[in-house]
Amino acid sequence: MSTISANTFLAADGTTTTEPSIPALDQRMAKAWVNFNGTGTVAIRASYNVSSITDSGVGIYDINFATAMANTNYCTTVSSYGYPTNVDLYIAVLGTQSVNSIGVGTKTHWVTNFANYDLATVTAVVMGGQ
């Protein structure tokens, strides 16, 4: 078994890249992901290929991609975590998917009986073609 370690890769045309394209792995890797604060002033904590979050109302967010998806046939998983207590049921739901963004909504049972609610932690992972 051999191991190759390098800081920079050269493409066939001589340009450099630090992210080689490996087609067999490309389909298995996240094309975008984000962890953000959904309360008060919405703020991204950490992300990949997410340019911004648009706060469109109580518990309604648009996650905007830095690089568009190839089409709308991608897979998205969303989740949320609690506020104001740790014993409540929290729900994150997927809204409209476009090549440039996804819509996400968050709800809670304890405070609003499953109506929209701003939650402290919202996450999303997008898999698919780019």
> In a structure prediction context, what are the per-residue pLDDT tens digits for the chain, which is 130 residues long?
666 666 666 667 777 666 656 666 666 789 999 999 999 999 999 999 999 999 999 999 999 999 999 999 999 988 888 655 555 667 777 888 999 999 998 887 766 677 888 888 999 999 988 7
**Cβ(122)–Cβ(50) below 8 Å:** no
Write out the H or E segment, with its range, that includes residue 112.
helix 109-112
Write out the H or E segment, with its range, that includes residue 25.
helix 23-26
**Cβ(78)–Cβ(90) below 8 Å:** no
Domain boundaries, the chain: 28-127
Sheet holding 30-37, edge to edge: 43-48, 30-37, 121-127, 75-81
The pLDDT of residue 126: 94
Task: Provide the sign of the torsion angle of the four alpha carbons 54, 35, 44, 59, taken in this order.
Answer: positive
DSSP structural state of residue 15? -
Length of the chain in terms of residues written: 130
Q: Which fold has domain 28-127?
A: Immunoglobulin-like (2.60.40)
The pLDDT of residue 102: 94
Q: Is 129 exposed, middle or buried (0-12, 13-18, 19+ CB in 10 A)?
A: exposed
The pLDDT of residue 106: 87
